[in-house]
Structure 1
Amino acid sequence: MGLKPMRGESVDIEKLVAEHHQAVYRYAYRLCGSVDEAEDLTQQVFL
């Protein structure tokens, strides 16, 4: 699933990551309970 900008818009990846990184990391950490795994999962989400 990718983001498709509407006509005249662009996707600002840095803004997207900045807005959602912490929430994704916290969710991943709650699921796996490991800092290293949560960091890896979070990185994979934004690839």
Structure 2
Amino acid sequence: MIIAGLIAAPMGTKISKRMNTKVLQAILAVLILGTAIKIWIDIL
């Protein structure tokens, strides 16, 4: 995970500078929603 983070972090900063902030917000919202759904499924 550390190696993947070291590789992906610089790529993410370059991509995020070129992307629209609304797109980044939507991606983050989908990731948070997916995580919340998985946690609820695991609890139930």
Give me the TM-score of the superposition, normalised by structure 2: 0.38
Q: Which has the larger radius of gyration?
A: 2
